[in-house]
Structure 1
Amino acid sequence: MERKMFCFQCEQTAACTGCTGKAGVCGKTADVAQLQDELTGALIGLARATDGGMQATPEAWRLMIEGLFTTVTNVNFNEKTIRELIGRVHAEKAQLVPDCSSCAAPCGRTSDYDMNLLWSADEDIRSLKSLVLFGVRGMAAYAHHAMVLGYTDDEVNRFFAKALFAIGEDWGMEELLPIVMEVGEKNLKCMALLDKANTESYGTPIPVTVPLTVEKGPFIVVSGHDLHDLKLLLEQTEGKGINIYTHGEMLPAHGYPELKRYSQLKGNFGTAWQNQQKEFAELPAPVLFTTNCLMPPKASYADRVFTTSVVSYPEMMHIGEDKDFTPVIEKALELGGYSEDKPFTGINGGSTVMTGFARGTVLGVADQVIEAVKSGAIRHFFLVAGCDGARPSRNYYTEFVKQTPADTVVLTLACGKYRFNDIDLGTIDGLPRLMDVGQCNDAYSAIQIAVALADAFGCGVNDLPLSMVLSWYEQKAVCILLTLLYLGIKNIRLGPTLPTFISPNVLNYLVENYGIAPITTPEEDLEALLKYSNSTL
Structure 2
Amino acid sequence: MFCNQCEQTAKGVGCTVVGVCGKKPEVSNLQDLLLHTVKGLSLYAAEGRKVGVVDAAVNHFTVEAIFSTLTNVNFDAARFQKLINQGMELTEGMKEKVAAAGGNTTFADPSANLKIAQDLEGLIKQAEELGHVVSKDADTDIQSLQQTLVYGLKGISAYADHAKILGQEADKVYAYIHEAMAALANKELGLNDWVGLVLKCGEANLWAMELLDAANTGKFGHPVPTEVPLGHKKGKCILVSGHDLLDLANLLEQTVGKGIYVYTHGEMLPTHGYPELKKYKHFYGHFGTAWNNQRKEFPTFPGAILMTTNCIQDPQAYMEGIFTTGLVGWPGVTHVKNGDFSAVIERALAMPGFEEDEDKGSVLVGFARNTVMSVADKVIAGVKEGAIKHFFLVGGCDGAKAGRSYYTEFVEKAPQDTIILTLACGKFRFFDKKLGDIGGIPRLLDVGQCNDAYSAIQIAVALANAFECGVNDLPLSLVLSWYEQKAVAILLTLLHLGIKDIRLGPSLPAFISPNVLDVLVKNFNIKPITTAEADLAAILG
1:35-54 correspondence runs (5 A): 35-52=30-47, 54=49
Q: Tell me if 1:324 matches 2:319.
A: no
Q: Which residue of 2 aligns with 1:173?
A: 191
- The C-alpha deviation readout for 1:199-228, integer Å capped at 9, x for no partner, is 110001001111111111111000000101
> Residue by residue, what CA displacement relative to the aligned partner does 1:406-455 show, whole Å, maximum 9, x if unpaired?
00000000000000010000000010000000000000000000000000
Contact 1:76–1:310, Cα closer than 8 Å, also in 2: yes
Match of 2:63 in 1: 65
Does the 8 A contact of 2:32 with 2:133 survive in 1?
no
1:433 alignment partner in structure 2: 443
Deviation of 1:105 (Å): 8.4
Counterpart residue identity of residue 292, structure 1: N
Aligned-partner Cα distance in 1 for 2:489–2:40:
23
**Cα distance, 1:298 vs structure 2:** 4.4
Cα deviation code 1:515-535 (max 9, x no counterpart): 00000000000001112xxxx
Check whether the contact 2:395–2:481 (CA below 8 A) recurs between aligned residues: yes
Give 1:111's aligned residue.
113
Instruction: With the length of structure 2 as denominator, give the TM-score of the two structures.
Output: 0.93
CA distance in structure 1 between the aligned counterparts of 2:395 and 2:12, rounded to whole angstroms: 22
SS of structure 1 residue aligned to 2:46: coil
Q: Quote the Cα distance in structure 2 between the aligned partners of 1:359 and 1:93.
A: 41
Aligned residues: 517
1:202-221 correspondence to structure 2 within 5 Å:
202-221=220-239
What percent of counterpart residues are identical? 53
Q: Is the 8 A contact 1:53 1:162 kept in 2?
A: no
| 8 Å Cα contact 2:395-2:423 kept in structure 1 | yes
Distance 1:131 1:106 in 2: 24
Tell me, what secondary structure is at the counterpart of 1:281?
helix
Q: Secondary structure at the match of 1:97?
A: helix
Q: Give the letter aligned to residue 294 of structure 1.
A: I
- Aligned match of 2:509: 499
Question: What stretches of structure 1 move > 6 A for 4+ residues in a row?
Answer: 103-106
Query: What secondary structure is seen at the aligned counterpart in 1 of 2:477?
Result: strand
CA distance in 2, matches of 1:270, 1:300: 15
CA contact (8 A) 1:427 1:433 kept: yes
Find out whether 1:373 has 2:383 as its counterpart.
yes
- The residue type paired with residue 157 of structure 2 is A
Counterpart contact for 1:133–1:167, Cα < 8 Å? no
Q: Would the aligned equivalents of 2:8 and 2:483 in 1 still touch at CA under 8 Å?
A: yes
Contact kept, 8 Å, 2:135 with 2:184, in 1: the verdict is no
State the secondary structure of the residue aligned to 1:50: helix
Contact 2:234 2:354 in 1 (8 A): yes
2:124 alignment partner in structure 1: none
Aligned match of 1:188: 206
CA offset at residue 473 of structure 1? Answer: 0.3
Q: Secondary structure at the match of 1:24?
A: coil
Query: 362, 383, 397: which one pairs with 1:387?
Result: 397
User: For residue 354 of structure 2, what is the aligned residue in structure 1?
Assistant: 338
- The SS at the match of 2:311 is coil
Q: CA offset at residue 331 of structure 1?
A: 0.2
Task: Measure, in 2, the Cα distance between the counterparts of 1:32 and 1:435.
Answer: 39
Q: How does 1:264-343 map to 2 (within 5 A)?
A: 264-301=282-319, 303-320=320-337, 322-343=338-359
Shift of 1:484: 0.4
Partner of 1:145: 162
Cα root mean square deviation, aligned? 1.8
Q: Distance in 1 between matches of 2:105 and 2:526?
A: 50
TM-score by length of 1: 0.94
Counterpart of 1:28 in structure 2 is 23
Counterpart of 2:489?
A: 479
Report the counterpart of residue 3 of structure 2 in structure 1.
7
